[in-house]
Amino acid sequence: MASLQYKTFSKLLSLLPFQFRMKVLFFRRFRYFLNFNNVETFNEKLQYKKAFDRNRLLPVAADKIASKGFVGGICPTLYIPKTIAVFKNSDEIGRFDLTTLPKNYVFKANHTSQTIKIIKNGQHLPTRKMQSLANNWLKHDQASSLGEWAYQNIPRRVFIEEFLDFDGREPDDYKFFVYHGRVHFIQLDSNRFIDHKRNMFDREWNDLEIEFSHSRKTPPPKKPIFLDSMIEIAEKIGTNFDFIRVDLYWFKNMVTFGELTVYPGAGFEKFPTRDWDIEFGKPWMLKDAKKC
């Protein structure tokens, strides 16, 4: 839950002109000033993307409902978690018969991050609790304070989605950094809700041996047999963007869709050194980013 201080700070920031606002946030995080006319690092280029890239597919990618149809049209063999129900407001939830739901499912919002509730073993939330969550989630504006343009015009919805059962374990989350249709780096998040570990690899699964916001798993996990299939799918999707992160799972022997991430960490996630931030920015040619 966001603190009152954070909420107040966010509201004040949203009143500032965009580029100045991003410079304030960037300095607060990295302790140097962002220059939009000379961007080099991955995080600097993400700020540039927020400012100038108006690719019409970005809101589709950021929308957790619309992105399913988008990637399904590109990769028919990709398994996509089923959408069970969609609600525009809490009143629609009140009219919905919760007894028709499966025992396990996920309740989430489509237009923002970190708005999710997992329901298991038929322990359904009371309707009023679901309505309260929906009201709070639907008020959340991810586009304003952090300047994430892609979220600005997404039709806000809450929805119920198929729960993917990984035999009671937290799934490994494979995140592919795709630049101009080519995977250059892979992020593997494991044990996210117990003992979160994160390993970073190049496209050949060579361990980069860096810690990126979380400690590494050692020894690093071995190269999965399905990696080539995941890379192929990520690159098919990535041809539509100058940069996109494609998040995938391996579920019941199938490559499975997680989500598309337009602005990883909103451009404020720290690499261990500035050199690594530069390294992740190198494959990204910004001449393709201005699509206004």
Distance from CA of residue 270 to its chain's centroid? 16
The arrangement of strands across the sheet holding 182-190 comes to 197-202, 182-190, 173-179, 243-251, 254-261
Q: 261 and 192 in one domain?
A: yes
Q: 87 and 67 in one domain?
A: no
* CA triple 58-149-81, angle to 5 deg: 45
Interval 134-193: pLDDT, tens = 999 999 988 887 899 999 999 999 999 999 999 877 789 999 999 999 999 999 999 877
11 falls within a domain: no
Q: 222 and 92 in one domain?
A: no
The CATH number of whichever domain residue 39 belongs to comes to: 3.30.470
Q: 117 and 72 in one domain?
A: no
259 falls within a domain: yes
Of 138, 162, 186, which residue sits at a domain end? 162
Interval 61-89: pLDDT, tens = 999 999 999 999 999 999 999 999 999 99
Six-digit token string for 86: 């969609």
| Residue 2, pLDDT score | 47
The answer to whether 184 touches 203, Cβ cutoff 8 Å, is: yes
Residue 163 to residues 22, 25, 120, 130, 196: CA-CA distances in angstroms?
A: 36, 36, 9, 17, 21
| Residue 11, pLDDT score | 67
| Residue 291, pLDDT score | 41
Q: 259 and 175 in one domain?
A: yes
Q: 127 and 72 in one domain?
A: no
Owning domain of residue 276: 17-77+169-288
Q: 281 and 196 in one domain?
A: yes
Q: 120 and 100 in one domain?
A: yes
pTM recorded for the entire structure: 0.93
The answer to whether 70 touches 164, Cβ cutoff 8 Å, is: no
Mean pLDDT (the chain, rounded) = 93
6 falls within a domain: no
| Residue 185, pLDDT score | 98
Q: 21 and 43 in one domain?
A: yes
Q: 274 and 214 in one domain?
A: yes
Distance from CA of residue 165 to its chain's centroid? 21
H or E element in which residue 108 lies = strand 105-109
Of the listed ranges 48-62, 166-180, 249-263, the least confidently predicted one is 166-180
H or E element in which residue 69 lies = helix 66-74
Q: Rounded mean pLDDT of 121-134?
A: 96
- Name the packing angle between helices 227-238 and 66-74 (round to 10°): 110
Q: 273 and 204 in one domain?
A: yes
2 falls within a domain: no
**Residue 238 in this model has a pLDDT that exceeds 70:** yes
Q: How many CB atoms lie within 10 A of CB 112?
A: 20
Of 162, 182, 203, which residue sits at a domain end? 162
Helices (H) and strands (E) in the chain, counts: 9, 9
Six-digit token string for 21: 């606002």
Q: 284 and 199 in one domain?
A: yes
Quote the number of domains for the chain: 2
8 falls within a domain: no
Q: Rounded mean pLDDT of 127-131?
A: 97
